[in-house]
Amino acid sequence: MQLVGLSNPGRERSRNEDSFLLRSEGSIALLAVADGMGGHVAGDVASALAVSALERCWNDMNREELDRQQMAAVVRHMVSEANQSILTNSAGDAGKQGMGTTLTVALLYGCNLALGHVGDSRAYLIEGNEIKLLTEDHSLVEQLIQQGSVSPEEAQMHPQRHILTRALGTSSAEIDLSELTVAENSSLLLCTDGLTTLVQDDEILEIILASQADPCSTAAELINLANERGGFDNITVVLATGIGRHAG
């Protein structure tokens, strides 16, 4: 298995409020992306705190005794620790009150995947020649789509597309958890909305399939395409390829 992560501020933002994490040991890997809430104070601090909490959990984890049946519980604990870290930090600093972040976390053990998700950063699974969205955006626009008030196409440029209904650092930090077994040699993509607002799912699939042997080039090409189309937001891509093989 190969792991790669890249982050870019985009063409319009002076500060990158995204953070990401990649850790692996043997057949176990931890991947995460976090997008500090735009328009809120210290969004970059919030995303960094979330990722730091995950890293502490990884360092404290007894990976030799990791139970595949308990992977979702491990992920839930990690996301809860990230949320608590943000809440504690903001409570002690008036300048950081109200900060928040999205968080999408994937724990891989061989071909077993546990996924935790809060916000609108996404996770995609690429198996064979197909791409599948594994997460649901916790956003106002997604609610409007579900209600039939706007179409997915209209949602792309909706003026309220960045309003989240769930985020870490808030009382609405309910976690979506899922578990699944993925096909050997499949790929997993985690990304912030700086990518998915400007690059469609079928385009993501095409780029990943065209350069499977070089995930670094894949991640760079995805970010470059988003920037070519305006780069209105920070863009972060975390990619795991060759799932089921030894992490490296």
CATH of residue 207's domain is 3.60.40.10
Answer for the pair 190, 123: CB distance below 8 angstroms, yes or no.
yes
Element (H, E) at 187: strand 187-191
Residue 248 in domain = no
Residue 98: the pLDDT is 82
| 37-95 pLDDT per residue, tens | 855 568 899 999 999 999 999 999 999 889 988 999 999 999 999 999 999 998 878 77
Residue 46 in domain = yes
- Write down the mean pLDDT value for the chain: 89
Residue 143: the pLDDT is 62
Residue 202 in domain = yes
Residue 87 in domain = yes
Element (H, E) at 3: strand 2-8
Residue 246 in domain = no
Residue 247 in domain = no
Residue 70 in domain = yes
Residue 79 structural domain: 2-241
How many domains does one find in the chain? 1
Residue 136 in domain = yes
Of 235, 118, 230, the closest CA to residue 173 belongs to 118
- Among 114-123, 149-158, 185-194, 234-243, the range scoring the smallest mean pLDDT is 149-158
Judged against a pLDDT cut of 60, whether residue 145 lies above it is answered with no
Q: How far apart are CA 84 and CA 50, in angstroms?
A: 9
